[in-house]
Amino acid sequence: MKILYLHQYFNTPAMAGGTRSYEMGRRLVAWGHEVHMITTDRDGRFPKDKIWHETEEAGIHVHWTPVPYGNAMPYNERIKAFFAFSWRAARRAVAIGGDIVFATSTPLTIAIPGVYASKRLGIPMVFEVRDLWPEVPIALGALKNPLTIAAAEWLEGFAYRNAARVVTLSPGMMEGVIKKGVVPDRVTMIPNGCDIDLFQNVTSKWRPEGVDDSDFMAIFAGAHGLANGLDALLDAAVELQKKGANKIKVVLIGNGAIKKSLQKRAKKENLKNVIFCDYVSKNRLVGLFASADLGLQILSNIPEFHYGSSPNKFFDYIASGLPVLINYPGWLDEEVKKNKIGISCSENSIADGIWDYYKGERISRQHVLTYAINNFSRDFLAKKIMNFIDF
């Protein structure tokens, strides 16, 4: 089967960010399918003299088009990037041809080239929902204009109406899609997975400058945006510093729209226990997570997140065997409590959670790893997707 895989922000393990599409794609190739990944070169890896550049990544034919993008870009510029890619991807997909279109969001505009290729080629489209959109941007206040909201809601319905199957990543996403009128038999939930082989292949551990080997390192790895609620981590750092917990270091690794404001606040409040680092590739995260003591799963306490998110970082933490502190209720909070793989702070402060874990009994990394293997291995989840889209 020839699969047209549309993902605007595709990442390999050598790049920063989630690798769900890469891991899915390489397994499809191993199972005998031909996979064409259509995506953006947003970081300027290739010269801009051509609209498309082709590489092969683990057997996946990757088609890159230069469309700059970053979380710190103004909202209007991001919208332009979404539509620029949609136009190019639609034409490219039809030119390549295939037996099935697999379009994965975000952004929601990925539905445009997905539906276009599906109609022009007469093949089914599978639409993968990675965020409950536009509900979450509306809740965050990122979408305020009534016309923009109406357009987003129309586009969401357009994607669902034209999809032969819909894959969601969390219970809340699945419930939200069904509420939009999609027949339940056409929807399934397949969460993000754990890259066990990658995170267990530790060649060398490392810690950022400012974190000693004897320090207790609690780490947040991911986007620094409005949705992440990272001021709560700085609040925790203030409390820990007041306690005199000098051996506890809070490390934030990544980039995003509010990173500079977080750094400015940390400097102003003289938070010596907070360390900021830039994004690193997933390959580099392996050694960092192996050296950490606690993974921080932090989000703004917005009801849409409770059952409607499936964050990559949570699954990367547990793939490393790293216990997780989570600060909001929902399905992942229930997983943490039920399986005793970390600390739930949904009713208490993050500072108290970190402090109590630092002073108390540690959770076995092997216990966390066993849970990850038994519930979220990539092979298991990829087979579920293939069985679901086997037309």
pLDDT in tens, 343-368: 999 767 999 999 999 999 999 999 99
Give residue 204's identity as a one-letter amino acid code: S
What average pLDDT is seen over the chain? 92
Instruction: Output the pTM of the full model.
Output: 0.87
- Give the residue, 217 or 312, on which the prediction is more confident: 217
pLDDT of residue 347: 64
Edge-to-edge order in the sheet of strand 34-40: 53-57, 60-65, 34-40, 2-6, 100-104, 125-129, 165-168, 187-189
Sign of the CA dihedral 310, 178, 75, 229?
negative
Estimate the crossing angle of helix 365-376 against helix 312-319, to 10 degrees: 120
Whether the pLDDT of residue 134 is over 80: the answer is no
Beta-carbon-side half-sphere exposure of residue 357 (alpha carbons within 13 Å): 27
Strands (E), the chain: 2-6, 34-40, 53-57, 60-65, 100-104, 125-129, 165-168, 187-189, 216-221, 248-253, 274-277, 294-297, 324-326, 342-344
CATH top class, domain 2-189: alpha beta
Nearest in space to 177 (alpha carbons), one of 285, 185, 101: 185
CB burial string 16-30: b at 16+ within 10 A, e below: bbbbbbbbbbbbbbe
Average pLDDT value for residue range 21-45: 94
* 197-375: CATH, from 3.40.50.150, 3.40.50.2300, 1.10.3720.10, 3.40.50.2000: 3.40.50.2000
Asked if 289 contacts 277 with a C-beta cutoff of 8 angstroms, the reply is no
Q: In the chain, where does the domain assigned CATH 3.40.50.2000 lie?
A: 2-189, 197-375
Whether the pLDDT of residue 302 is over 90: the answer is no
User: CA-to-CA distance for 224 and 251, rounded, in angstroms?
Assistant: 12
State the Cα angle at 331 between 7 and 151, rounded to 5°: 45
pLDDT of residue 226: 81
| Residue 220, beta-bridge partner list | 252
Query: Residue 308 — pLDDT band, cuts 50, 70, 90?
Result: confident
DSSP code of residue 273: T
Alpha helices in 302-349 (DSSP H): 303-308, 312-319, 331-339
